[in-house]
Structure 1
Amino acid sequence: MRRAPSTFALVLMLVAAALLLALALSGALQRRFGRQVVSDSYGRLAIATVLATDELAARPQDPAAREVLGSLHLLGVQLSNAQPPTPSVRRLAPALTAVARTIGTMLGDPTRVVATQTPDSQLWIRSAHDPARWIVLRTPSYRPRLLDSALLLSVLAGLIALAAAGLAARLLTRPLERLAAQASALLAGAPTDPGLEGSPREVRRLADAIGDAGERLRGVARERELMLAGISHDLRTPLARLRLALELGDAGDPGRRAAMVADLEELDSALEQCLAFVREGRDEALQSTDLSTLAGQLLALRLRPDDWQLEGPGELLAPVRPILLRRALGNLMDNAERYGAPPFAVSLAREASAIELRVTDHGTGAAPELLPRLGQPFLRGDAARGGGGSGLGLSIAGRAARLHGGELLLANRPGGGFVAAVRLPIPPR
């Protein structure tokens, strides 16, 4: 399997490429600007030299003129009646071509200027007084030295760019390396390493996200362990009764048979609640549902529907997960019948920012010390209210409320009894 490059290598190559590209662009712009400056400044000096030489050459009898021409000859300015040599096959230097173009433009006649490079660079300018005479300016070539200097500067710039890229890459990837080294500890619940406090904001957010994910995973693991323990406890008693009944041969007795069927229904109910707790209902899509109709259907399925009252508007539409909310509301109604006393009521109300589904009973309520813990998986209210159950009804209702962005509210009624309310936020229109 091909090994993927490290983050440090990727960042190093990226920063180095960016710096080298910037240096290349800067060098190209500098050469272009330098060529323009050289052609303009050198072209003006060449024009001045050519005009002065042409005027002095027009006065061959003047001793002062001959003396100045001699000095100019020593400086590389010559007069020639021969034709300019044919330019070499090699392409002329860009700077020489630019200077020749500038001189021709200033003279007003580009045909008077010929640039050659055989091998030294020369500029031939035709005299304005004598078309057969040419003024030759020798332009020394600094190209080899410039190439050497440019190569040296490029090497130095490349080394500096690589050093800067390495430093930048190290500064960028060091927090990621520390985070990778601490990721397992963060998932296990360890506090964030103080060394990450000075890291970039994205690294700190990633560390917090890993810590939150670890907390959720540990919570899920605890719930699974608790669920397995609860299942083993809840199934043991009815299975023992069924085994004893079968050993005693009670299947022929109608009363004993009804008790066995009740045990089987209890087993089925416990398993159904556990499966509902595990599935969570996240995969169910939101649908516009009439909550009044949903509550009315649940009331019609009760064994003693006359003990129940439905209070609220005739229609209350809301985007919910109908199967999950139906199970949550049904669990609250089961708890009311199991732990409370009639009359029971289901109330639906729409407020400015939320919808509330409330289930109330007139029983003894929950013990004050137990009330803050209600809703934990497999926690039963038997000690305060009596009855059986799997201990998952309120947990499923609370999870359903949270999946809708709401909350489950549990409280004792001031006049006696218990109230469980699912409060769902209303999405903005």
Structure 2
Amino acid sequence: MRRAPSTFGLVLALVAAALLLALALSSGLQRRFGKQVMGDSYGRLALATALATDELASRPQDAAARQVLASLRLLGVQVSEAQPPAPSVRRIAPALVAVARTVGGLLGDPSRVVVTQTPESQLWVRSTRDPARWIVLRAPSYRPRLLDSALLVSLIAGLIALAAAGLAARLLTRPLERLAAQAPALLAGAPTDAVLDGSPREVRRLADAIGDAGERLRGAARERELMLAGISHDLRTPLARLRLALELGDAGDATRRAAMVADLEELDRALEQCLAFVREGRDEALQAIDLATLAGQLLALRQQPDEWQADGPAELVVPVRPTLLRRALGNLMDNAERYGAPPFSVALVREAGAIELRVSDRGAGAPPELLARLGQPFLRGDPARGGGGSGLGLSIASRAAQLHGGELRLANRPGGGFIATLRLPVAAA
């Protein structure tokens, strides 16, 4: 498998590329600006030299003029009656072209200026006094020295850029390396402040996210362990009764056979609740349904529907997860019948920004020490409120509320009884 690049290498390459690009742009702009400055300043000097030489060449009898011309020849300035030669190289230096353009512009006639490179660079300026006479100025070539200087400067700047890029990359990736080294500890629940002192805000947020993910994983593992323990406990008793009944040959007796069927139904309900708890209902799509109709359907399925009463509007259509909400509301009604006492009530209340489904009874209520723990998986009510059940009903209802962006509220009623409230925000629903 191809090995992926490290974060340090990627950041180093990115920062180095950015610095080298900035250096290249700066060098290009500097060359362009330097060419303009050279063309303007050197062009004016070249024109002044050509005009002065032309004036001196027009006075051949003047000894002083001849002496000055001899000195100018030593400096590379000559007077020629020949025509400018054709360039023997393909490309003329851009700086010399800029000088010629400046000279031609100042003379008002660019045709009087010719640039040659054979390979020596020369600037030919036609005389204003004698069209057959040319003033030839040798342009010294600084190209090799400039090239060497540019290479040296680029090399030094590149080394500095790489050093700066390496330092920046190390400063950026060191917190990530520390985070990678501490990730197992964070997943195990270690505090983030102790291992990430001085780290950037984004790294701390990532560490917090890893810690939250670890907490969720540990919670899921605890729930799985608790669910397996609960299933084994719930299945052991009815299975033992079924085995004993089969060994005693109770299948032939109608009454005992009905008890066996009841045990099987109890097993089926326990497994159904466990599967509903595991699936959670996250994949179910939102649908607009009438909660009043849903509550009426669930009331019609009660064994003693006369013990129930419904309160609320005749119609209340909201987008919810129908199957999940039906199971949650059904579990609350089952809990009311199992642990409470009639009269039972289902109320639909629409408040500002929220909808509440309240299931209440007039039983003994829940002990205060148990009330805060209700809703935990496989936690059953105490014997004072009855028995049976899988201990997942309130957990499923709580998850249903959370998946709808709401919450499940459990409380004892004044005067005796218990009330469970599914509160669903209208915006979330």
Shorter-chain TM-score range: over 0.9
Give per-residue Cα distances to partners, 1:45-72, cap 9 Å, x unaligned.
1111112222222233334433433333
Secondary structure, counterpart of 1:128 in structure 2: coil
| 2:212 aligned with 1:216 | no
Q: Deviations over 1:153-188 (max 9, x none)?
A: 111111111111111111111111111111111111
**Structure 1 CA distance for aligned equivalents of residues 403 and 93 of structure 2:** 75
The question of whether the paired residues in 1 share the 8 Å contact of 2:339 and 2:385 is answered with yes
For 1:23 and 1:416, the matched residues in 2 are separated by 81
SS in 2 for 1:369: helix
**1:148: which partner in 2?**
148
The reply to whether residue 355 of structure 1 matches residue 355 of structure 2 is yes
Q: Which residue pairs with 1:318 in the alignment?
A: 318
**Offset of residue 428 of structure 1:** 7.6
Q: CA deviation at 1:195?
A: 4.4
8 A contact 1:313–1:348 mirrored in 2:
yes
Q: Deviations over 1:199-238 (max 9, x none)?
A: 2222111111110000000000000100000011111111
**CA separation of 1:261/1:173 partners in 2, compared to 1, >3 Å: closer, same or farther?**
same
Q: Is the 8 A contact 2:187 2:213 kept in 1?
A: yes
**Distance between the aligned counterparts of 2:396 and 2:410, measured in 1?**
14
Residue of structure 2 in register with 1:170 after alignment: 170
> Secondary structure at 1:210's aligned position in 2?
helix
Residue 110 (str. 1) matches residue 101 (str. 2): no
1:36-51 map, 5 Å: 36-51=36-51
1:252 corresponding residue in structure 2: 252
**Range 139-148 or range 418-427, more displaced:** 139-148
Which residue pairs with 1:54 in the alignment?
54
Q: Give the unaligned 5+ runs of structure 2.
A: none
For residue 274 of structure 2, what is the aligned residue in structure 1? 274
Question: What is the TM-score with the length of structure 2 in the denominator?
Answer: 0.97
Aligned to 1:398: 398
Contact map agreement 2:404 2:428 (CA 8 A) in 1: no
**294-303 or 71-80: bigger deviation:** 71-80
2:202 equivalent in structure 1 = 202
Q: 2:188 aligns to what?
A: 188
Shift of 1:193: 5.1
Q: Contact (CA 8 Å) 1:348, 1:355: kept in 2 or not?
A: yes
* CA RMSD in angstroms, aligned pairs only: 1.4
What SS is found at the alignment partner of 1:44? helix
Measured in 1, the distance between the counterparts of 2:95 and 2:359 equals 92
1:292 aligns with 2:295: no
Per the alignment, residue 262 of structure 1 pairs with 262
* Secondary structure at 1:346 match in 2: strand
Partner of 2:377: 377
1:408 aligns with 2:397: no
Is contact 1:114-1:123 (8 Å) kept?
yes
Does the Cα contact within 8 Å between 1:197 and 1:204 map onto a contact in 2? no
Instruction: Give distance in 2, aligned partners of 1:342 and 1:193.
Output: 53
Q: Which residue of 1 aligns with 2:85?
A: 85
Distance 2:121 2:10 in 1: 47
Amino acid at match of 2:277: F
**Are the structure 2 counterparts of residues 266 and 188 from structure 1 closer, same or farther at C-alpha, using a change threshold of 3 Å?**
same
In structure 1, what is the Cα distance between the partners aligned to 2:14 and 2:345?
A: 67
Flag as ranges the 4+ runs of structure 1 deviating above 4 A: none
Contact 1:382 1:388 in 2 (8 A): no
- Does the residue aligned with 2:116 lie in a helix, a strand or coil? strand
Contact 2:76/2:138 (8 A) holds in 1: yes
Q: 1:369 to 1:262 in 2, by over 3 A?
A: same
Give the CA deviation at 1:110. 1.3
Question: Is the alpha carbon distance of 1:146 and 1:136 closer, same or farther for their aligned partners in structure 2, counting shifts above 3 Å?
Answer: same
One-letter amino acid of the counterpart of residue 256, structure 1: R
Mean CA deviation greater in 238-247 or 293-302: 238-247
Distance 1:240 1:352 in 2: 52
Q: How far off its partner does 1:383 sit? A: 3.1
Q: Distance in 1 between matches of 2:398 and 2:387?
A: 21
Structure 2 counterpart SS, 1:373: coil
The answer to whether the Cα contact below 8 Å between 1:182 and 1:193 also exists between their aligned partners in 2 is no
Tell me if the contact between 1:341 and 1:361 (Cα under 8 Å) persists in the aligned partners: yes
Equivalent position SS for 1:194 = coil
Q: Which residue of 1 aligns with 2:76?
A: 76
- Matching of residue 160 in structure 1 with residue 160 in structure 2: yes
